[in-house]
Amino acid sequence: MPPRPGLSKAELEIARIVWGLKSATVRQVHDALPVGRDVDFTTVQTYLKRLEEKGYLKVRLENRTRIYAPRVKPRTVIRETVDDLVERLFGGDAMPLMQHLVEEKEFTTADIEQLRSLLNRLEGDSDV
């Protein structure tokens, strides 16, 4: 299957709402936008149609109402988006991204423990 076209920031925002709702009408997505996010109903409708055309959402008709649902899992979109970012920005080398995140983002103690556990697990896998 050819790669899906990437998502704009606004399309990703709409896709995340649909993922959270599991399935939704245009009205439900519009109503679920964050407070202060002033987006026209017709703009939400356009984003949903684009997401359907790009292969991220599927649609079914109930009476005359379009019900949108995810076609792609969020985890898949995250993987594809991060892989594309690493390839374009770092030539496929993920270490500069990891270094940037560690040095520039604030991690809680719980975050650090989770990272340490992940690293320990990865080291254990390499001993096999």
Question: How much is the pLDDT for 2?
Answer: 58
Per-residue pLDDT, 3: 76
- Identify the burial level of 44 via C-beta atoms within 10 angstroms of its C-beta, where 0-12 means exposed, 13-18 middle and 19 or more buried: buried
pLDDT at 1: 54
**Domain covering 1-92: architecture:** Orthogonal Bundle (1.10)
pLDDT of the residue at 126? 62
The CA–CA distances, whole Å, from 119 to 103, 112, 124, 125 equal: 17, 10, 9, 10
Cα 81 to Cα 111: distance, rounded to the nearest angstrom? 22
Q: 59 Cβ partners below 8 Å, 6+ apart?
A: 48, 52, 66, 67, 68, 69
pLDDT digit string (tens) for the chain, length 128 residues = 557 898 999 999 999 999 999 999 999 999 999 999 999 999 999 999 999 999 999 999 999 999 999 999 999 999 998 999 999 999 999 999 999 998 999 999 999 999 999 999 998 876 54
